[in-house]
Structure formats: structure tokens, C-alpha cells
Structure 1
Amino acid sequence: MANGHVVMGLGSAEKRRSTRDAMQFIWRFSRDESGIITAQNILMVMMFLMLGGLGVDMMRHEMVRTQLQSTLDRAVLAAADLDQTLEPEAVVADYFAKSGMGDYLSSVQTSEGLGFRNVYAEAEIELKTTLMHLAGIKTLTAPAAGAAEERIPNVEISMVLDVSGSMGPAGSSKMESMKNAAKTFVRTVLGDSYGERGDDVSISLIPYSEHVNIGKDLFELLDTKKHHKHGFSYCVEIPDGHMEQTWLNQGHQFEQVQHYQWNYHGDRFDTSNTVCPRDSWAEVTTFSRDPEQLINQIDQFTGRAGTSIFLGMKWGVALLDPDSNNLVKGMIAKAQADSAFAARPASFEDENTLKIVILMTDGENQSSYRIAPWYYKNESHYVHWNNNNFWGYLYTKVKKHYNNWYLKYYEPATGDRLTADTCNIANERGIQVYTIAFEVSGHGADVMRDCASSPSHFIEANGDTIEDDFKSIGLQINKLRLTQ
């Protein structure tokens, strides 16, 4: 019995110790702060995972964005190339397709005009995230955008305008329509006042009829001393071989054109319509940026004499050839050209210069005659033919054998051939040739069409459209200036 009591007592004591030990453990555990480290570690691990996921997704996003931007940059550069014959949109799309990114091209916008092309494109890729979705970010967008432009900042223009008799006198509907159109073009390109549009665009004005009066100042810069016969007007004969080149052979001794009135039909006593025009408004104006000067000259235009398109075209092209730079400098020294253009005409190889001829006519090349040399060889002859109408004199004074007094200098077919020669070499040298056939059809229109740089450079105009036609060319040039 006693032994049994002892055993029971020991069991109770052990239970009490066990209970006490358990309570002490719980108390110590509850007081032990080292357990907090485990919770912090769990939170930190989760944070590191999120940050790592963010880094992976962002690196992947940047890699794709860089590839997308690189493809876009190369695409717009190729599309903006002025020598590129494909449509800009097609070029950009092709670059993206070959890079395996064709589905990501959003838009392509192009703007182009005379001498410039601008291409802007946008693309976008939406990427699914790998770990950032844990933070609720399921996708990232990789955008790309860029633009490229190629442009030609300097523009040299020769306006070659027909003022022959068929245009009618000042005040006639045809002449006034042409004058208004030409003045609109000048204002569109140069503005309303001198220097308003800077010095990137220059205009040379070449009125032509049966011949081209280059004016005394330009005449004296050429080698004309040997054949300088009179001071009534200032045209020079240009050898046919010179029409096959853009330049004017300044080593050549130019012969002054006879000053006389040729009227086979009409008033045979008139002396105002000489083969070489005598009026100052009919003289060539070189390298101007003064709209008032040009408009005042255009306002004085009136129809006169015959038509020699090839001579007008030759002077328009010659004033764009770099060999004429010494002539421009000479005209500047005489205050007959703007000093801002002392370096013009620029080289044909100058990628920063665009050269343009605007050639307008209302007809076609006609025959042109000269007095036989033996009746035009001294001062008394020069004065005589200045004072007398050639055919009026022959009919009233000579009457017989008058065919010996003159010779045919140009046939219409010769004029057409020389026009083609000058137009062809101009186009070969990169001159942009716009031709305007004003109320012309048939053969005359064909000559102008063949002269133009492309079918889109040839314009058939009438009295209702000619102003808009001139303005459309001017707007292209003005748009070029504004993109600089």
C-alpha cells in the first residue's frame, strides 16, 4: 500500500513539472522577439521577387523598344530619300515586314513638295509581362516614333515668258491673264516686299518674243565689242551649237542682232515692233528677290513681234549654269543683280540647290528674218533701219528685186530642233523644266510637252486656269522654303 502511495505521489509531481515547463516555454517563446526576423525575411523575399520581375520585364521591354525604334529610323530615312522611286508608305512597310515587325506599324505620314520629302511614322508593341503581373501589371507598351526629311534649301528660278504679238496688247484678256498669273507666282514665292522670304529663292525674268533683249549691262559683260553696231537694243545672235549646252560660251565673239522692224503683214510703217525689242520692260532681269521690281516689269508687258521659244529657253537655262557666275558678279557690280546671290548660279552638283525653268508660250516657233549683210554694214544703215519699217521701205522705195534685201535666219522647224536641244540638255543636267502651253494645241503643245521634265511638269492652261497653274508651282517652292 505504502509503495502504491509513493508511486502515485511521484506521478503527480512529474505532471506538475511538465505543466510548469510547458508554461515557461510558452512564456519564453512569447517573450522571444527573434521570431520577427522570419516574417521580415518572407516579406523581403517577396519584394525581391517583385523587383527582380520588374527588372526582367523592363529590360525585355527596352530591348524590344530599341529594336522597334531602330527599324523605324532606318525605314523613314530610306523613305525620305528624294532618289527613292517607291511610295514612302510602301518603303516603311517593307522595312517593318522584313524585320518581322509588320504587325506593329501604326501609321505613316508623308509631306512632300518641290525639292523636299518628309516622312513620319509611328509603331507600337504590347508585351505581356512575366513577373510584373504579380503586382497587377499584365502588359507593357513599347512605342516608337520618328521622322526624316530630305530637302533642297536653295532655289534658282528662270521665268521665261512669251510676250509675242499673239499674246495681244496690254489690256487684252490673254495678256492680262498671263500677267496676273506671273505676278501671283512672284508673290507666292517672294512675298510682297523685298527680302520678305529671305535669300533662298532667286528669280530671273526672261521676257521673249522674236528675240531676247539682255540689256546693255549684260550685253557689255559678253565679248560683243567687235560686233557692237548700235545702241538701239541689246540682243545677241547665238550659234546653233550653243543650244546643245546649258552654258553660254563666253569665249565666243557675239554678234549684235540687227535693229529693224519686220512687218510682212500689218502696218508697214510702224517702227515700234523691232525684231530685238527696244523697251526696258522687255530686258532680262537677273537674280532678283524683289517682288515689287518684278511685278512692275510684268505690269508693262505688251504683245509684240514674233515667237522664238528656243531663244527664251536658252537664256533661261544659261542663267542657271554655273559658268554664268562671273556674269552675275558683273551684274551685281553694276547694281543690276542682288548681292545676296553672288555665289549663284550654283554648281549642278550642289545637292543644296534646285534649279527651275518655267517656260510659257501661247504659240510655236516662227520664221525669223534678217536684213542682207550688204544692206546692214555701217552707221548710216543702222540709223536708217531704226527710222524706217523694213517692208514699208521696200514697197515704197525699192519695189523690184526686194528679195535680195533679206534672208531667212530661222525656219520654224529649226526653232523646234533648237528648243529640243536646249530642253534635253537642261533635263540631263537636273534642271526642273515646267512648261505651260497657254491656249495652245497641236504642234505647239507637243513641243512644250516634249520639253518638260516629266508629264506632270507640262501644263495646258487657259484664261481661267493659268493663274492657278502658276500658283501651284509657286506653292510647292514656298512649301520647300517653309520646311527649313
Structure 2
Amino acid sequence: MRIDPQQPDLTSPPRAGRTCAGFLRRFAGDRLGVSAVAFAISFAVLAPMTLGIFDVYTATEQRGKLQDALDAATLYAARSPAMTTADIDVAGEKALAANLQMIHGASLRSSDFALVGTKVVASAAVDLPAFAPAEFTHRPVTVNSEVTRAGNNLEVALVLDNTGSMMGAPMTSLQSAANQLIDLVVSTTQAPYYSKMAIVPYSNAVNVGAYVNSVRGAAAAGTGSNVTGYSKIRFTSASGSTNTFNVSNCVSERTGGEAFTDASYAVSKVGWVYPASSGANPCIGAAIQPLTSNKTTLHSLVGALTAGGSTAGHIGVEWGWYMVSPNWGGLFPASSQPAAYGTEKLLKVVILMTDGAFNTAYCKGVISKPSSATDGSSGSSSDHSSCASPNGDSFTQAQALCTAMKAAPTNVIIYTIGFLHQGPDPQAEAILRNCATDAQHVYFPSTGAALQVAFQQIGADLNRLRISH
């Protein structure tokens, strides 16, 4: 068959179709190339952003964990008995380490706990793993926390045995232990909560110094015959002799209906003391120190303590109570006056220390003759009155005073310390167990080192009580 060259060739595609198909093939190839470039550009932009978002997520997660841990650690430090920034920091760091959860790759950069007034202020920072490129800013996660410590005001009377058996090393140990207690209990910062201490040295009596005329009455000139109130007393001794003794600034227990209460000195005067002219059982040299926050004053008194005389422990107990009793506040300067019983956020404490049994009581201003098997009334019978104590022996009186002091509404907390450096003493141990608030408030150290530990433990316990939970 011949094909006319003038007729179209129906067996081949038209030229226009061939051109269109080629264009489509070229377009498809160009589109794939553009998409690849667009994808590459998008990936280069979006990938770092995605990693940056992941950084933000991890930072947010770690910040929450760090804040929770720091809050818990700050609260723990605030509730601890720590009273210095150094001790607060130790407590806080320990608690933070126990509570902090870290995401993988994170590390604790820094942490700090400080005592600022009544607040514990803390901060911590954590370094995070970096997922986004270095061009993105990578800062540590930093959080802060602050807890205001609740607290109590503190009034403490420290009643210290200065009897003859404390002479030498025992007295040195007592002074060291008492000075440590002063530093533990009396805070340098007295606001918003105060901490004050009174000291009552005692042996066969208590020296009240310049307060003597107010609490027992002024001495009239002359000599009283078997009666107090004069500058001298003439009495018949337990041995039958007649003696004349001079009055002193020391005082003895009071008698009558207020013998075992803390009623004011204006209501009931305390007893007189006429020390033996022989020099046995003289008036103790160190006088009482009412409540103060002046640590220098307290340390000076402790440093001046000397040993001598027998043990009228009940008189020490009595004056320990008076030091924290609002009924006796009018006797002292305004800064030393105890607050009222029941005052909110106030603790009243008496710490009673002795190294032996209580063995000395009084009758009409002179050491009485022994009134019971437990009352030794130390010294010569010629220096003792022929009458027995109307209140009973020293043990009986101390027990009555402690029982009343601990009872409501007074609620005085009583710690007792038996310094048994001479060995076990059943009488002393019985007195101290009976006087203390409970068994957890009784200590029986037998060495100077153990005495210091006992005072330190009491100081720590008082600081714990001072910080309410």
C-alpha cells in the first residue's frame, strides 16, 4: 500500500502530544527536586526547633522536681534544731540529696541554705543535658525556697550545785558544761522570739544578794532570842550549847501555807539564814542571776562559782521556780521579769543539777537538827538548831515543790542532772527521778565528759522544743 505523503501518518503520535508528554516528564522531575530542597530547608529549621522544644520540656520537668525537693529540704531545715547558718546548711543539703530526683544527664550545680532572722532561705541550680544546637541558649534550672520558722520564747532557770563535794575537777567540769549550755540555749538574735536564762547557785542555802531585804525583810538591830528578824540570833543548839550567829544575804525555805507555792514574796517572805560562826556551811558566795539574754553576764557568773557547804537542794528548787514565776517578776528589772503563765508561744524550764543527796533544812534561820533518816544536816550538831524543820526534810520539800511546779496551770518543764562522780547515790537518784518532768528528762552522768554531753543533750532538746512543728 502506498502512503500519500500529503496525508497524515496515523500510526505515529501527534507532535503536540509528544511535546506535552515531554513537558510533563520534565515538570515531574523538576517537582521532585524542589520538594527535596524544600524538605532539606524545612528539616534544617524544624529539627533544632524540635530539639529546643524538647530542651524546654526537660527543663520544665526538672524544675518541678528541683522545686519540690528544695521546698521539702527547706522545711526540714527550718524544723531542725539547728540555730546557725552552718548547721542549717548541713541539714538542708542532707535533705535535698535525699529528695532530689534528676532526669537523665542532669547534675546539681549548686545549693545553699541560710538562716536569715527567723527564716530559712534556700536556692539550688541544676545543669541540664543539651539537645538543641549550641546556638540555642542553655541555662541551668534555678529555684528558690523560703520558710519562716515557727518558734517559742524560752525562759530557763539553771540551778547549780556548789556544795563542797564539787570542789576541784567536778566544779571545772560543771563550769565547762554550763558555759556550753548557755551558748546553746541563749540565742544571739532575740527577735521575734527571745531566749533568756537565770542562774541559781546553791549549797546549804541560796544567796539572793541585793534582793535580800525585799524577800525576807530588813534586819533590825540587835539580837533575837530564838527568833529571826534581827542582825544576830541567839539559840540553843542540838548539842545543848547556846550560840549567837550573824545574819547573812543567804535565805532559806519559807514556811506556812505558801511553803510549796510560788506565791509572791509580797504575800509570804522566805526564811532567814544565820550561818555558823565556826565557818562551816557559810553563806554561798555566788548570788542569783535573774533572767537575762546577756551571755557575757551568764558566763561571768559561772566562771566565778566556788564549792563549799552542804546540800539544801530544795532551796535551789524553790528559787529555780521563782526565777521563771510571773509572781516574782516585780522583784527584778523589767528585762528580767518572767512572762505570765499560759502566754502563747512560751516555754518555762528549770534545770536542776546536783552531785549528791539533799541533806540540809532549816528551823528559825539555823540549820535544823536531822528530821529524818535521809536528812544528814551536814556539819556539827553544835551548829544546828535544836528544832527540826517544820516543813520536813530537804527531800520532802523538794518533792512537794517539784510536784507543784510541774502541775497545771504552771506547767514548768523540769530537767534533772545527777552528777554521780563519786559513784551511785540512791537518795540523789530518787530525788532527781521524782522531780523531773518524766524519765526522758533525767540524766545521770558519772564523768566530766558525760556531764558535758548531758548538758549538750538538754540544750539540743530545748532548741527542738523552741521550734514548734
- Contact 2:311 2:359 (C-alpha < 8 Å) held by counterparts: yes
* Residues 204 and 236 (structure 1), Cα distance of their counterparts in 2 relative to 1, 3 Å cut: same
- Residue aligning to 2:248: 232
Corresponding residue SS for 2:428: helix
- Residue aligning to 2:177: 185
- Residue aligning to 1:273: 281
- Cα deviation, residue 149, structure 1: 8.1
* Residues 365 and 148 (structure 1), Cα distance of their counterparts in 2 relative to 1, 3 Å cut: same
CA distance in 2, matches of 1:236, 1:368: 8
Where do 1:157-176 residues align within 5 Å? Answer: 157-165=156-164, 167=165, 174-176=166-168
Letter in 2 for 1:429: N
Q: Mind listing any 5+ residue stretches in structure 2 that lack a counterpart?
A: 105-130, 133-140, 220-227, 232-246, 367-378
- Residue aligning to 1:317: 321
TM-score, normalised to structure 2, is 0.60
Corresponding residue SS for 1:302: coil
CA distance in 1, matches of 2:24, 2:34: 14
- Cα deviation, residue 432, structure 1: 4.7
More helix by share: 1
CA distance in 2, matches of 1:31, 1:367: 117
* Residues 449 and 55 (structure 1), Cα distance of their counterparts in 2 relative to 1, 3 Å cut: same
TM-score, normalised to structure 1, is 0.59
Corresponding pairs, count: 380
- Cα deviation, residue 160, structure 1: 0.9
Corresponding residue SS for 1:161: strand
Where do 1:14-53 residues align within 5 Å? Answer: 14-26=13-25, 39=38, 43=42, 47=46
Letter in 2 for 1:232: S
Corresponding residue SS for 1:409: coil
Q: Does 1:202 align with 2:170?
A: no
- Contact 1:178 1:467 (C-alpha < 8 Å) held by counterparts: no
Where do 1:33-112 residues align within 5 Å? Answer: 39=38, 43=42, 47=46, 58=57, 62=61, 111-112=80-81
CA distance in 1, matches of 2:409, 2:49: 67
Query: After superposition, what is the alpha-carbon deviation per residue over 1:254-293, rounded to whole angstroms, capped at 9, x for unaligned?
Result: 15414242xxxxxxx614525xx2x5x2321223424466
- Residue aligning to 2:332: 328
- Cα deviation, residue 52, structure 1: 11
- Contact 1:206 1:315 (C-alpha < 8 Å) held by counterparts: yes
Q: Does 1:124 align with 2:123?
A: no
CA distance in 2, matches of 1:372, 1:212: 13
Query: After superposition, what is the alpha-carbon deviation per residue over 1:99-140, rounded to whole angstroms, capped at 9, x for unaligned?
Result: xxxxxxxxxxxx5479x996735153869xxxxxxx89xxxx
Letter in 1 for 2:318: K
CA distance in 2, matches of 1:150, 1:9: 104
- Residue aligning to 2:306: 301
Select the residue among 433, 440, 455 that pairs with 1:456. Answer: 440
Where do 1:360-371 residues align within 5 Å? Answer: 360-371=353-364
Q: CA RMSD in A?
A: 5.4
- Cα deviation, residue 252, structure 1: 0.7
- Residue aligning to 2:107: none
- Residue aligning to 1:414: 396
- Cα deviation, residue 5, structure 1: 4.6
CA distance in 2, matches of 1:197, 1:471: 19
CA distance in 2, matches of 1:70, 1:474: 33
* Residues 349 and 35 (structure 1), Cα distance of their counterparts in 2 relative to 1, 3 Å cut: farther
- Contact 1:435 1:448 (C-alpha < 8 Å) held by counterparts: yes
- Cα deviation, residue 315, structure 1: 0.9
Letter in 1 for 2:389: K
- Percentage of pairs with the same residue: 17
- Contact 1:367 1:408 (C-alpha < 8 Å) held by counterparts: no
* Residues 318 and 300 (structure 1), Cα distance of their counterparts in 2 relative to 1, 3 Å cut: closer
Letter in 2 for 1:358: I
- Residue aligning to 1:431: 413
Letter in 1 for 2:274: H
Select the residue among 330, 352, 355 that pairs with 1:359. Answer: 352
CA distance in 2, matches of 1:452, 1:189: 18
- Residue aligning to 2:288: 284
Q: Mind listing any 5+ residue stretches in structure 1 that lack a counterpart?
A: 83-110, 128-134, 137-141, 168-173, 262-268, 331-341, 374-388, 395-402
CA distance in 1, matches of 2:365, 2:343: 45
CA distance in 1, matches of 2:439, 2:391: 28
